[in-house]
Amino acid sequence: MSSIPSLGAGAVEYLSLPAAARLIARVGVVECLRGLVDVLEHDFRRWSDFHKSARLAQHMPQGVIELMPIADARHYAFKYVNGHPGNTRLGVPTVMAFGAIARMDTGAPVFVSELTLCTALRTAATSVLAARHLARPDSRVMALIGNGSQSEFQALGFVGLLGIRSLRLYDRDPAATRKLVANLRSAEVAAELIECASAAEAVRGADIVTTLTADKTRAAVLRGEWLEEGMHINAVGGDCPGKTELDAAILRRARVFVEFDPQTRIEGELQHMPADFAVTELWRVLTGQAPGRCDRADVTLFDSVGFALEDYSVMRHMQALGRAHGGLESLALIPRLDDPKDLYSLIRAAEAGT
């Protein structure tokens, strides 16, 4: 299990975006996800060790910028992340992120990381973790509705780790589906790839349905009348106030699981439902305190909005992989001072050219 070391003042490890891409390519997406699922399950099982809060969000017409903090007795971690659905028209990703881990005893940061690629990894790994405990074990067909930037990671995770053998793909932008198919074929994914003409067609016959749309709107990407007995749904795209993907009828029929209840009620599909609508936090299933799937006929829903614990987990995991494969750099972020009370000595040294 990866961990954060006790580093001296000034020693800040850094995982850049290019280094993260090289690291994931070297280790392999599926193997990165395999290890990350284990780290996530370990961290979710010690849920009570963490100081938790809903993320801090600044919403504007173009999108949202958020800070996602979490801490335990040893570490404080946060992620900065945006969500701007219109960015692709400008040639900029919809989601961009970075994060850091600091020591609680001194406040000194010890690791800074890109989290754009890593967020895609942790979102897919969290979906896999939830489905491992909530979907039918014999699930072999998955529908992917929304074939944008996170879809490859979800597809590779479910094929490589949960035994999915057929992927039914739909996006209202056919170019997105063509991109996904090309990337999966390049990765030699061991699954049948079926391009569908509608979301309803994609869902038909699926054991697992994952929704990954980006538009900041109250949508009904998935309709209640499309549900089939035993289906598991990963609702991933709804992640801020005013943004949903599911028909409310689905929540009324399904057994609903969430990451952190107070945050999901603000941002997830739970926006459809009254404040007393009953849900189960995923950590309770992982620790045996609550049941997951009770019957093959159950419809289960993981209303996933992303939570800071997952970002802490992925940073721990990627730092350990970076160390093992030589992918980390040193970031000159914290001063080294002969006299820790003399911060001005940095200016004097710069003036002297030393």
3-state secondary structure 270-336: HHHCCCCCCCEEHHHHHCCCCCCCCCCCCCEEEECCCCHHHHHHHHHHHHHHHHHHCCCEEECCCCC
- Residue 231: name the closest of 114, 152, 136, 308 by CA: 136
**CATH number of the domain encompassing residue 175:** 3.40.50.720
Beta strands 63-71; 75-83: pairing state: antiparallel
pLDDT on residue 88? 86
239 in catalytic set? yes
Q: pTM for the full model?
A: 0.92
DSSP structure class, residue 295? S
Q: Give the rounded distance of the alpha carbon of 305 from its chain centre.
A: 8
Whether residues 203 and 231 fall in one domain:
yes
What CATH number does residue 96 fall under? Answer: 3.30.1780.10
Distance (Å, whole) CA 158 – CA 179: 18
143 and 242 part of one domain: yes
**CA 157 to CA 125: how far, in whole Å?**
7
Whether the CB-CB separation of 282 and 257 falls below 8 Å is answered with: yes
Clarify whether residues 218 and 281 are in a common domain.
yes
Choosing from 207, 239, 303, 311, the catalytic residue is: 239
Tell me whether residue 342 is in a domain: no
Strand partners, 258: 281, 303
42 belongs to a structural domain: yes
Give, for 278, the enclosing helix (H) or strand (E): none
User: Do 286 and 330 reside in the same domain of the chain?
Assistant: no
Question: What is the reported pLDDT for 241?
Answer: 67
Do 29 and 139 fall within a single domain? Answer: no
Do 165 and 246 lie in a common domain?
Answer: yes
What radius of gyration do the chain's Cα atoms show?
A: 21
> Is residue 252 situated within a structural domain?
yes
Residue 316 maps to a domain:
yes
- Please, is 87 exposed, middle or buried when counting C-beta atoms within 10 Å of its C-beta (0-12, 13-18, 19+)? middle
192 and 281 inside one domain: yes
145/131 Cα distance (integer angstroms): 16
Note whether 280 and 149 are same-domain residues. yes
The series of mean pLDDT values per 10 residues for the chain, 354 residues long, is 46 95 97 98 98 91 92 97 89 92 95 96 98 97 95 98 98 96 96 97 97 71 92 83 80 95 87 89 98 95 95 98 94 90 93 85
Q: Which amino acid is at 297?
A: A
- Decide if 84 contacts 105 (C-beta within 8 A): no
Q: Examine residue 98 and state whether it is found in any structural domain, yes or no.
A: yes
Same domain, 64 and 163: no
Whether 176 maps to a domain, the answer reads: yes
Burial of 172 (0-12, 13-18, 19+ CB in 10 A): middle
Q: How far apart are the C-alpha atoms of 248 and 245, rounded to whole Å? A: 9
109 and 222 co-located in one domain: no
Domain total for the chain? 2
The residue segments making up the domain with residue 42 are: 12-117+309-335
325, part of any domain: yes
Surface-to-core class of residue 107, CB atoms within 10 Å of its CB (0-12 exposed, 13-18 middle, 19+ buried): exposed
Euclidean distance between CA atoms 240 and 216, whole angstroms = 8
Are residues 72 and 53 part of one domain?
yes
Give the span between the Cα atoms of 210 and 127, in whole angstroms. Answer: 9
Structural domain contains residue 348 = no
Return the structure tokens found at 353: 């050219």
Whether residues 64 and 141 share a domain: the answer is: no
Closest CA to 303 of 218, 234, 248: 234
Q: Are 94 and 87 in contact (CB under 8 A)?
A: yes
